[in-house]
Amino acid sequence: MSPAPKDAQRTALITGAGSGIGAATAHRLAAEGYRVVLTGRRVGALEQVAKRITADGMTADVQPMDVTDPSAIATVVDGLVRCDVLVNNAGGAIGTEEVTDADPSDWRTMFETNVMGALSTTQALLPLLTESGDGTVILISSTAAFTVYEGGGGYSAAKHAEHALAGTLRMELCGQPVRVVEIAPGMVHTEEFSLNRYRGDTDRAAAVYAGVDRPLVAEDVADAVAWTVTRPSHVNVDFLVMRPRAQAAQHKVHRQG
């Protein structure tokens, strides 16, 4: 395949771009000169993110897309003429029940969004990423991708699978002009992650971060994404783990007071 036209603006597609890490990453990549394509299920949220980006003089397009719906992915991809970067960010955790009490439907939902969604979106965009001559696939996983903990079985299993997807894809694309990068954040304080995990219980969601001196925020992860994407094209950051200083491990968190 011939490289994408050099005079065309580099394009980055971000899944789950309506809030949190996805929204911050979209803004940061736009600042790096990319035309960003914001995808997700909530059109209103995507439009608000796009409005903030365009207000800063940058380029953003909104494309409603559910990563669990291959036909929706195909519709969005068919409308693209170019894609240089794919950020697989859509996902999340549901519930904290132990394995003996877990609802299989919650596990199924986590696999569909975190794993199958990333698989389907990556498959659909690989031809354009390869055609760009210098494509990058980013997978936002988690420290749960290599560590298990009580009450996190479903989420950890899904993120372990996403970690396997990243590593396998990197091997299979060896020799192709596409980098595969996995970024695994630890504790990140966003407006929705823990709230969704605790099924809307604001007190339990807030308790996750109680007493923690400066947990990561979405912009920290977006900064890491931008750094990996802007390395020289021969440099692949295979696997980047990031945590706040107050978190030494999944189960080791310093809390003040």
* CA–CA separation, 152 and 89 (whole Å): 19
Averaged over 49-77, what is the pLDDT? Answer: 97
Q: Is the pLDDT of residue 178 over 90?
A: yes
Selecting among 34, 149, 155, 209, the annotated active-site residue is 155
Quick one: pLDDT at residue 2?
Answer: 44
Backbone angles phi, psi at 139, to 5 degrees: -120, 120
**Per mean pLDDT, which range of 13-22, 193-202, 220-229 is the poorest?**
193-202
Architecture of domain 11-244: 3-Layer(aba) Sandwich (3.40)
- Token readout for 127 is 């031809």
Of the candidates 49, 48, 44, the residue with the CA atom closest to the CA atom of residue 14: 49
**Over the stretch 2-15, which tens digit does the pLDDT of each residue have?**
454 555 899 999 99
Task: Report whether 125 contacts 77 (CB < 8 A).
Answer: yes
Determine whether 155 is an active site residue: yes
Quote the mean pLDDT of the chain. 94
More confident of the two residues 2 and 34: 34
Quick one: pLDDT at residue 175?
Answer: 98
Residue ranges of the domains in the chain? 11-244
Q: Is the pLDDT of residue 1 over 70?
A: no
**Over the stretch 125-170, which tens digit does the pLDDT of each residue have?**
999 999 999 999 999 999 999 999 999 999 999 999 999 999 999 9
Instruction: Give pTM, 2 decimals.
Output: 0.94
